[in-house]
Chain A
């Protein structure tokens, strides 16, 4: 594919877009695993979302 005399700019544009999109995908994915891990740890410790412990009415 011949990109002509300004090939560098075209490649730079696609590379920049790719990098930003990759960062977005990484942010969303890493944040998800982080939250899941924290939730798992909290649940293991017996923490619930209710203010009172489970055994009290």
Chain B
């Protein structure tokens, strides 16, 4: 029997020229089910209470965080490409010897990701104080990381290695500073989580939003952890 499946280019041409709604197949965050003409958004606003439902209203924090991370990632990508190009563009590239204390930084920030995950798991548990306690531990580890980074700087400065000393040290100071500033933002966000009044449990929207905010901050922190691991490899193993 002859297959009736149209050729690939025919499908593409139809996609572009056809007049049938494409929205029956889902695109991006598009509708799953229901809605007018059965291809509308699943959200119930417009009917019912007249404002977006809980999940989608809270989801914006997670979406927003991923979008923000894309742009942060782009910045570090640009700096990395500069690093690689600069390393190859002249013969004045003298890689630093890895200061031992950087290993401490790395260990601290890896552990902090785990403690933050523990805090997030305890988020719903309003009886015990586990959430806040793990948050505090995470913050302490984060501050420890920053101090350890500063100590690295001091150690290098004692050896007479400054930002303008050679291209590798320039990138070392720049990348650690850029990462440190972002981590400082993460610490501020953790402090906000810690100090924020817990949402009253009966207000579902507030709870959903609050949970989404906590998720977003957790995502950010994990990202900063991975980013440091990446920079660590870049700075001390790619050179």
Does chain A bind chain B?
A: no
